[in-house]
Chains A and B, each alone.
Chain A
Amino acid sequence: MSALSIDWPSTDFSRVPYAVFVDPEIYAREQERIFKGPYWCYLALEAEIPKPGDYVVVYVGDAPVVVARGRDGKVNAFVNRCAHRGSTVVRALQGHADDFTCVYHHWRYDLEGHLLSVPFQRGIAGQGGMPPSFDRKCHNLPILRVETYRGLAFGTFHADAPPLTAYLGPKMIEGIDRIFRKPIEILGYQRQRMPSNWKLYWENINDPYHAGLLHQMATTFGLTRITQGGAVILDEHKRHIRNYYYYEKGAREVAAAAYAQTKVFHDNLKLEDTSIVSPIDEFGDGILLDMIAIFPCLFIQQRGNGLLTRQIRPKSPDEFELYWTYFAYADDTPELRQRRLQQANMSGPGGLVAMEDGESGVLVQRAIKRQMEHHSVLEMGGVGPIEDHHHLCTEVSLRGFWLNYHAAMQFGAG
């Protein structure tokens, strides 16, 4: 039986077959149906390529893509694969260029991915060269549609993707407007290689149920506790998710009582320096942690004064890279900038909170290897309709993801 006709035993997606995390056929189909499907994939922040000719090399799914700012100021994206013999055209991960020349046979492309010139196209002294029928216009690099919103650049391979703002929808745009409310600067990057399936990470980040249990630094110091209140908000298609958590309102004793049945609340754990767990509410709306997940590969996050994006870059069924980009507001005071840098200790591969997100996926991947006929259980927060929840004791948004994933993948359709 092909894994592509696997059984999904519940129509509300409260069961997820483990095969989706393991099977190479499914992985291959994801690259076609999701990462080249009618969805917008995050590419980069416009602040990374401020000037015409600036470029970065990123990934859409597992396809390498160049994102370059053109002479007209617009952001372009094209596949980093020479139209001639398939060589990598742009070899640096970031930089500045007037145009791009493949080193193999020096085919040259402009900042939009159009083929500009082919050496010896007319041959030498009447001998050799390309045939008269060769038309340079037919040999551009594969070009993605690009749209930007508030400094976030997205690309799609698919002609049927709706306009970007319609794709994001008003509920996600509200969250994006909040975080990208003023000009930003890049603070740095992290790359993290995870020996697990990329969708396990999507599930992890969008699951507030785990956040107040797995992350004991966060529960102990009031950074993410289920008791602090918040919401899980879905877009109209249930594919994008905004999770937010408020600053703790009740006393530490209230949380300690609620957590009495667990072992994750450490009364004896003290910090010598509390600066990294003492953010200031610079937004003035009481939201401590705001995470916006844009299907299929982007997370935008504000934790206290820490600001970042995470992009999922799948590599194989059991491996992905997580690409972290830290940013700040251009008008930060030096004191606020320092707070952001210190609070970055919570995130990334060394993140006092985030390190466990990567570990959890590995624990799952290791255990499900030969469990293809079994399913995970998503019932926290209830079964049935997939809707917004104004509390954090829920896994509902994961069912929204699987609803969309299932539709995109066309399981059972051969």
Chain B
Amino acid sequence: MIEPALLEAAVELYTLYADHLDNFEWPEWLDLFDANASYRVTTRDNESRGLPAGIMLCANRAMLEDRVNAARFANVYRQHYNRHILSQPRIWLREDGDIGASCSFAVMQTDQDGAAFIFAVGKYQDALAWQDERLIFKAKAVILDNSRVTTSMPIPL
């Protein structure tokens, strides 16, 4: 039985995650990760075959911040907005003491042509932990059902 307070805190974490990301609120978004949190994006195809390479791989929050800064200041790509639609998270208690969480997502993208399309669909497969009476990410894996990406993926999902 998952305590209602735990589920509520997890819902709050995912809600903030999606909203900060879609609003480009980078310091607030990065603050949802532990300093040692890993972040990776891969496809279901790679994951199901046990293949370690993916689309993004950040070993810690500093690397994730570098990715964000690359997207903000260095990389060249089409202007676009992402919009995350998330499911209710599924929560479980892991043997290592962290909290396991998974959550389905769809990301719609709107570009300069003005149309929105489905850019990515998949699930988060995460480890969470309490910090200062809130939940944060200890590890995050973004596993895409869509094995192909349209044009490029400059911004984390």
The residues of A with any CB-CB pair to B shorter than 8 Å are 93, 186-195, 214, 216-217, 220, 266, 269, 271-273, 275-276, 321, 326, 341-342, 344-345, 348-352, 355-356, 358-359, 362
Q: A220-B74, A359-B77 are in contact. Are A188 and B153 (CB under 8 A)?
A: no
B33 to chain A, nearest CB (A): 13
Q: Are B53 and A362 in contact (CB under 8 A)?
A: no
Query: Which residues of B lie under 8 Å from residue A362 when comparing CB positions?
Result: 78, 151
Query: Which residues of A lie under 8 Å from residue B85 when comparing CB positions?
Result: none
6 A-B pairs within 8 Å (CB atoms) are namely A192-B152, A349-B55, A349-B151, A351-B152, A352-B75, A356-B75
Cβ contact of A193, chosen from B57, B58, B148, cutoff 8 A = B148
Query: Which residues of B lie under 8 Å from residue A191 when comparing CB positions?
Result: 147-149
Q: Does B54 contact A (CB under 8 A)?
A: yes
Known contacts A220-B74, A266-B73, A358-B152; 4 further A-B pairs (Cβ under 8 A) = A187-B51, A193-B150, A273-B63, A321-B148
Q: Are A187 and B62 in contact (CB under 8 A)?
A: no
Q: Would you list which residues of chain B between 118 and 139 have a CB under 8 Å from chain A?
A: none
Q: Are A216 and B75 in contact (CB under 8 A)?
A: yes
Q: A187-B51, A193-B149, A193-B150 are in contact. Are A355 and B66 (CB under 8 A)?
A: no
Cα separation A355 to B71 with both chains bound (whole Å): 11
A307 to chain B, nearest CB (A): 10
A197 to chain B, nearest CB (A): 14
Interface of A is mostly: mixed
Q: Does B84 contact A (CB under 8 A)?
A: no
Query: Which residues of B lie under 8 Å from residue A348 when comparing CB positions?
Result: 55
Contact bitstring B9-53, A, C-beta under 8 A = 1, else 0: 000000000000000000000000000000001110110000111
Task: Find the A residue at minimum CB distance from B77.
Answer: A359
Closest 10 CB pairs of A and B: A188-B53, A272-B62, A191-B148, A188-B51, A349-B149, A355-B152, A187-B53, A326-B53, A350-B153, A273-B62
Q: Are A188 and B52 in contact (CB under 8 A)?
A: yes
Q: A186-B51, A188-B51, A342-B57 are in contact. Are A195 and B151 (CB under 8 A)?
A: yes
Q: Are B66 and A214 in contact (CB under 8 A)?
A: no
Query: Which residues of A lie under 8 Å from residue B75 when comparing CB positions?
Result: 216-217, 352, 355-356
Query: Which residues of B lie under 8 Å from residue A359 when comparing CB positions?
Result: 76-78, 151-152
Contact bitstring B50-90, A, C-beta under 8 A = 1, else 0: 01111111111011011101100111111000000000000
Interface of B is mostly: mixed
Cα separation A186 to B55 with both chains bound (whole Å): 15
Query: Which residues of A lie under 8 Å from residue B148 when comparing CB positions?
Result: 191-193, 321
Cα separation A326 to B43 with both chains bound (whole Å): 14
How many pairs of residues, A versus B, come closer than 8 Å at their CB atoms?
Answer: 114
Cβ contact of B59, chosen from A190, A271, A273, cutoff 8 A = A273
Q: Are A344 and B73 in contact (CB under 8 A)?
A: no
Chain B: number of interface residues, binned into ranges: 35 or more
Q: Are B53 and A341 in contact (CB under 8 A)?
A: yes
| Residue among A93, A273, A358 facing the most chain B CB atoms (10 A cut-off) | A273
Cβ contact of B66, chosen from A273, A341, A344, cutoff 8 A = A273
Q: Are B46 and A189 in contact (CB under 8 A)?
A: yes
Q: Are A273 and B60 in contact (CB under 8 A)?
A: yes
Q: Are A276 and B149 in contact (CB under 8 A)?
A: no
Task: Find the B residue at minimum CB distance from A366.
Answer: B113
Q: Are A276 and B63 in contact (CB under 8 A)?
A: yes
A95 to chain B, nearest CB (A): 11
Query: Which residues of B lie under 8 Å from residue A195 when comparing CB positions?
Result: 150-151
Cα separation A348 to B54 with both chains bound (whole Å): 9
Cα separation A186 to B66 with both chains bound (whole Å): 27
| Residue among B59, B73, B76, B147 facing the most chain A CB atoms (10 A cut-off) | B76
Cα separation A190 to B77 with both chains bound (whole Å): 19
Query: Which residues of A lie under 8 Å from residue B63 when comparing CB positions?
Result: 272-273, 275-276
Query: Which residues of A lie under 8 Å from residue B65 when comparing CB positions?
Result: 272
Cα separation A273 to B35 with both chains bound (whole Å): 12
A19 to chain B, nearest CB (A): 23
Cα separation A220 to B69 with both chains bound (whole Å): 13
Q: Are B150 and A217 in contact (CB under 8 A)?
A: no
Query: Which residues of A lie under 8 Å from residue B147 when comparing CB positions?
Result: 189, 191
Query: Which residues of B lie under 8 Å from residue A276 when comparing CB positions?
Result: 63, 66
B136 to chain A, nearest CB (A): 18
Q: Are A342 and B59 in contact (CB under 8 A)?
A: yes
Query: Which residues of A lie under 8 Å from residue B76 when comparing CB positions?
Result: 214, 216, 356, 359
Task: Find the B residue at minimum CB distance from A187.
Answer: B53
A261 to chain B, nearest CB (A): 18
Q: Are B54 and A192 in contact (CB under 8 A)?
A: no
Cα separation A362 to B150 with both chains bound (whole Å): 11
Cβ contact of A350, chosen from B51, B59, B73, B152, cutoff 8 A = B152
Q: A275-B59, A345-B56, A349-B151 are in contact. Are A189 and B77 (CB under 8 A)?
A: no
Q: A342-B59, A345-B57 are in contact. Are A266 and B152 (CB under 8 A)?
A: no
